[in-house]
Amino acid sequence: MKTIRERAEEYAENEDLVQGTDGFEYCLRDYIKGATEQKAIDIEKAKTAFGKACGWLSTYLWYNEVFEKFMKIMEE
């Protein structure tokens, strides 16, 4: 899986509207900003969905460990 930075660089290199170094840097910065914000939104949605789907499971001791592993993977 590619990082946000790697995807941003590919996008910026292929964007027809980007001209010169400044255009590339603006495109790169904006892509990274948007992707980072979207990732935060996705993580919050995943937390909510995980909690709703597994609500009663939270009474089990192993639940917190599974949830922490899940969140760590989401944040990578």
Q: Which of 18-55 are b and which e, b meaning 16 or more Cβ less than 10 Å from the residue's Cβ?
A: beeeeeeeebbeebbeebeeeeeeeeeeeeeebeeeee
Tens-digit pLDDT profile for residues 9-62: 887 777 655 566 667 777 788 888 999 999 889 888 887 887 777 777 767 777
pLDDT reported for residue 46 = 82
pTM exceeds 0.85: no
11: alpha, beta or left? (left if phi > 0; alpha if psi -120 to 50): alpha
